[in-house]
Amino acid sequence: MKTPDPGRLVPWLVSAALVCALFFNGLDLSWFAVSLLLLLLWFTLNGIGLYRTGLATGSRALPVMVMLFWLWLGLGIPFTPVRYLGAVNFWWLGALPLGYLAFLLTPDREKFWQRLLPLLLWIGIALSGYALYQYFWLQSPPNATFFTKNSLAAFLSLLLFPALAQVLVASRLRDRWLGALAVVLFAFLLGLIQSRGAWLGLAGGLVLLYGLGVGGTRHTRWLTGLALIVAGFVAAALVIPWVPEAGGGLLERVVSLRDTASA
């Protein structure tokens, strides 16, 4: 009987942890607890798998600093006025070092990322679809599962970069098509939401990606990726005037970047 490959299951495990985290509203700890349990399971599975083989992590400075940060959070629990909140804060902020250490213990991180990325993009696409349903059908702010639309914009702006990387460097055509779909859709939502912080983050990230040489000398793919982003924003600019609840136009919002004090 063929043994299942754990490497194929772990990306789904991490994706499930992300989905649970997206439903955590800061009050009900159920989704928060499930998300952390899934991260702990990921960490444990990697630790068990590498117990016999070992892992070359390269420089240990960053992992040690991450573990010291997590330890500092734990040592601070007895000194907090409300220890319950201190414990929640320990796990809340500790999700970052936990995820980092679990990823560090992943045997084949490149293959893991290749399997995880499509799942992340589909999660972003599903969130975008829900936000569009809120915006056009319910005529409410496109928050998706977040408290504010700006939080959704920040999340989508982060996902847009790996989606763009798919367009730039993916070898398989279906991966490039998935990346292109995600880039256009995320850019369209960023245009509708009109979050200036997300726009600035997107602009800075694009400069960084190009400066790091992502995509190499494939200028045609870079032009394609930028065209997809522009197409998403142009589509948003064309749609906004037809939605009464949208407020000002996209160009007006862009001009308001000169006045950082305005909302």
pLDDT in tens, 166-218: 998 888 889 999 999 999 999 999 999 988 888 889 999 898 888 877 656 56
The Cα–Cα gap between 203 and 210 comes to 11
Least confident of 7-16, 69-78, 142-151, 252-261: 252-261
Residues 141 and 242 grouped into a single domain: yes
What is the tally of structural domains in the chain?
Answer: 2
Residues 133 and 239 grouped into a single domain: yes
Mean pLDDT of 233-261: 68
Residue 149 in this model has a pLDDT that exceeds 50: yes
Domain range holding 200? Answer: 113-263
Least confident of 47-51, 53-57, 225-229: 53-57
Nearest alpha carbon to residue 187 among 219, 226, 134: 226
pLDDT band at 3 (very low <50, low <70, confident <90, very high): very low
Residues 167 and 98 grouped into a single domain: no
Q: Which residue, of 107, 136, 169, is where some domain finishes?
A: 107
pLDDT band at 117 (very low <50, low <70, confident <90, very high): very high
Nearest alpha carbon to residue 131 among 121, 140, 118: 140
Global pTM reads 0.84
| pLDDT for residue 1 | 45
Residues 262 and 176 grouped into a single domain: yes
Q: Which residue, of 77, 107, 137, is where some domain finishes?
A: 107
Mean pLDDT of 133-138: 90
Q: SS3 for 261?
A: coil
Residues 211 and 83 grouped into a single domain: no
Residues 68 and 195 grouped into a single domain: no
More confidently predicted of 28 and 247: 28
